Structure 1
Amino acid sequence: MNWTAFRAQAPELATLADEWIADAHVLLLGTLRADGSPRISAVECDVSGDDLCIGMIWQSTKALDLERDPRLTVHSLPPGRENTRGDLKLYGRARALEAPEKRAYEAVMQARLDWAPSEPYHAFAVDVTSAGLVVFEGGGQSVLSWRAGNPVRRRVRDNIA
């Protein structure tokens, strides 16, 4: 589902993700290499229209991964050991942006950075299928999880070793 639909189904998680994106714009992207092994890359993300978008250098290995296998994970890139905001993860599939969506994405980048990518480049929207947030506090953890079509689930686990 696109970012707007994700916001409607899981507003608490989407709000946290929106804050992360607005604050940092840089998240970690997990893709699958041709041999099935994982690849992780730092990427810039922005919300454009109804989509969470990621732009990539033309023919970059991560872009080629997504063209071959659109499954992906996006991670919040924790700021350090004390990570009080927790670990936010989004799971889903990449969808290549077409010309009108790419122009809108370029306008968002131009407004934020006073720079926009020029063709050729790859741009993908993240269609979210599930999400989670884990926050460690007081020797335990608080977990929010969501899967498309289900409500957000909250769990608290104490005394995590």
Structure 2
Amino acid sequence: MTRTNWAAFTAAAPELAHTAQERFAPYRHHVLATLRKDGSPRTSGLEVQFLDGELRFGMMPDSVKALDLLRDPRFALQANPGEGTAMGGTGDIRISGRAYEVTDPAVKGPYAQEVKPPEGPFHLFRTELTEVVRTYVEDDTYLVVESWRPGGPVRTVKRT
């Protein structure tokens, strides 16, 4: 199975990838959903970084969201909707996938130099994408849903 990181997504769906990355850029905090031990969802605030063709998450040591991902790597991430409506501007972006911890100092060191997390240990996760969805309103008439999954094209559905 081919690993689908941010670079692979960008190559497969460049316009959607560009729009998605632009949607995350204006805000520092976004919403991450992970799975608790009992399988119920947990949402947490999260900062994300797009570095070296990867969507990465850095977390405080032993944070509950990090422990969730270490136990079950599935996640859903929603871009901060910003002020006003979640459908304004470029719309709403949601990314699903799996997050795996990175322990290699050759990766964590440059990440820490670029992002400058608080001093001390931290968890770093790389992501493998399973779905990217953009939802927006077009011409104040249509709800448009663009979705992408690995191995397929971007699919667009318009609803009135």
The reply to whether TM is greater than 0.5 is: yes
Structure 1 residue 101 corresponds to structure 2 residue 107: yes
C-alpha contact 2:27 2:80 (8 A) present in aligned 1: no
Structure 1 residue 146 corresponds to structure 2 residue 154: no
Structure 1 residue 133 corresponds to structure 2 residue 134: yes
Q: What are the ranges of 5 or more consecutive residues in structure 2 without an aligned counterpart?
A: none
Alpha-carbon distance between aligned partners in 1 of 2:98 and 2:66, rounded to the nearest angstrom:
13
* Alignment RMSD (CA, Å): 1.5
Distance 1:127 1:118, change over 3 A: farther
Runs (4 or more) in structure 1 with deviation over 6 Å come to: none
Deviation, 1:139, is 4.0
Aligned residues: 153
Structure 1 residue 50 corresponds to structure 2 residue 53: yes
C-alpha contact 1:49 1:104 (8 A) present in aligned 2: no
Alpha-carbon distance between aligned partners in 2 of 1:22 and 1:77, rounded to the nearest angstrom:
10
Selected match of 2:37 from 29, 34, 39: 34
Match of residue 157 from structure 2: 155
TM-score after normalising by structure 1: 0.88
Distance 1:117 1:51, change over 3 A: farther
TM-score after normalising by structure 2: 0.88
Q: What are the ranges of 5 or more consecutive residues in structure 1 without an aligned counterpart?
A: 111-115
SS of the equivalent of 1:24 reads coil
Match of residue 90 from structure 1: 95
Match of residue 81 from structure 2: 78
Alpha-carbon distance between aligned partners in 1 of 2:119 and 2:51, rounded to the nearest angstrom:
17
Q: Which has the higher helix share?
A: 1
Deviation, 1:70, is 0.0
Deviation, 1:149, is 0.3
Alpha-carbon distance between aligned partners in 1 of 2:113 and 2:78, rounded to the nearest angstrom:
25
